[in-house]
Amino acid sequence: MTTLPAGWGDGTRSVRAGDAPPVPGTPLRPSPVFAAPFHLGDRPPRADGADAYARTEHPTFRAFEDAVGELDGGRCLAFSTGMAAVTAAVTALVSAGDRLVLPADGYYATRLLARDELERLGVRVEYVPTTGIGDVAARGDLDGARMVLLETPSNPHLDVCDVAAVARATRAAGALLAVDNTTATPLGQRPLALGADLTVGADTKALTGHSDLLLGHVSTTSGEVFDRLKGWRDHTGSTPGAFDAWLGHRSMSTLDLRLARQAETAAAVAEVLAGHPAVTGVRWPWLASDPSHELATRQMLRPVGVVSAELADEAAVSRFLAASRLWTAATSFGGVHSTVDRRAQWGGDAVPAGFLRFSCGIEDTDDVVADLTTALDAV
């Protein structure tokens, strides 16, 4: 992992993280290495740290991992997708008969993984709402738990959970705490610094932020956990492609700038939504009226660009989309385009038919807000 000066800001760290020492005549950011096998020569494989085979070691993966690890504050392993990262974090560290606590209102694919695969393998999965996991920890009801997986802010409701408090409880119970930090990114929240054992990211979303690749990662400060995850990845082969890893590292250079614009727009969008008669149930933790406001402003380092709200029904959503020119109907979030996703159409979340997840892009805030107002008025 690279080590950058402690006083450097988020923008500088986003650009410089993972960079090798400069060598005259070489590119500022080397091109991706596409090799699968590497020359072995007359030495034993991996002698003196030499690469041998891309599934287990690769220079382009390491540059991306160094960059993300620098921002996360731990050692990072890259995976082919965010779900591959979540699967590794759980499967490598939880065994048959173990108790695993998952958010009942988190990303639905994580719950599908637990229901269709982990329970089949004998893992005892317990589903608790994000706001309730803190209560379970406060009561000391984690006896026998092997791992607690948080997603905070939760997706899509944007509830926030006290990471430090849950970390103290999991440590007292001898359990591990993993935090899905996808929505916040390492610039918005640092779970490892708050006491988590692992932080997980679906880097397809805001971290790389251009909606053009699939990528994920897990970071940890534990050498034992890192080695177990590395072994699991080597055995299962869930590594990213070299070009995706390179493209992800390239895209991180603008992370600070993208997040700042997205948060600026989200603040304006949340205010418009909260004041419009066609809208109910607005959630953005940085609204003073939001139930997660106090904790989010205390725990997190910056606001996120995701807002949730409800229109009356599916027909109202259709009218909204027909009247909008800048809010594109698309799933996922965190990209440079402003998008809106009607979550009920996927069938995985307990939400009303008109529930929407707004992901603010990096267009001009005034344009996005004007378009939002026009489309809401059409509703």
- String of DSSP letters for 224-280: HHHHHHHHHHHHHT-PPPHHHHHHHHHHHTTHHHHHHHHHHHHHHHHHHHHH-TT-E
- For residues 366 and 320, is the Cβ–Cβ distance under 8 A? no
Phi/psi for 208 (5° steps) reads: -95, -30
The pair of structure tokens assigned to 30 is 């080397």
Give the model confidence (pLDDT) of 242-263 as tens digits.
999 999 999 999 999 999 999 9
pLDDT at res. 268: 98
Please state the φ and ψ torsions of residue 44, each to the nearest 5 degrees. Answer: -60, 150
Domain-ending residue, one of 224, 252, 280: 252
Please identify every residue annotated as catalytic: 55, 107, 180, 205
Q: What angle do CA 257, 260, 266 make, to 5 degrees?
A: 140
18 is a domain residue: yes
pLDDT (tens digit per residue) in 124-157: 999 999 999 989 988 989 988 999 999 999 999 9
Residue 301 has pLDDT above 70, yes or no: yes
Host domain of residue 16: 10-252
- Of 231, 252, 273, at which residue does a domain stop? 252
Report how far residue 348's alpha carbon sits from residue 219's, in angstroms, rounded to the nearest whole number.
27
What pTM value is reported for the model? 0.96
Other C-beta atoms lying within 10 Å of the C-beta of residue 267: 17
Residue 208 forms part of a structural domain: yes
Q: Within a 10 A sphere around the Cβ of 43, how many other Cβ atoms?
A: 9
CATH of the domain at 187: 3.40.640.10
Inside any domain, residue 3:
no
Determine the average pLDDT of the residues in 173-186.
Answer: 98
Contact 120, 256 (CB under 8 A): no
CB-neighbour burial class of residue 279 (10 A; exposed 0-12, middle 13-18, buried 19+): buried
Residues 111 and 227 reside in one and the same domain: yes
Are 108 and 184 in a shared domain? yes
DSSP state of 116: I
49-70 confidence digits (pLDDT tens) = 899 999 999 999 999 999 999 9
**Do 278 and 326 sit in the same domain of this protein?**
yes
235 and 271 belong to one structural domain: no
Whether residue 112 is found in the same domain as residue 169: yes
Q: What share of the chain is helix, strand, coil (3-state, %, to 5)?
A: 40, 15, 45
Q: How many independent structural domains does the chain possess? A: 2
155 and 20 in one domain? yes
Residue 67: half-sphere exposure toward Cβ, Cα within 13 Å? 33
Domain boundary among 186, 217, 252: 252
Q: Model confidence at 373, in pLDDT bands (50, 70, 90)? A: very high
The verdict on 235 and 267 lying in the same domain is no
The angle subtended at Cα 339 by Cα 259 and Cα 371, nearest 5°, is: 95
Answer yes or no: do 223 and 265 share one domain: no
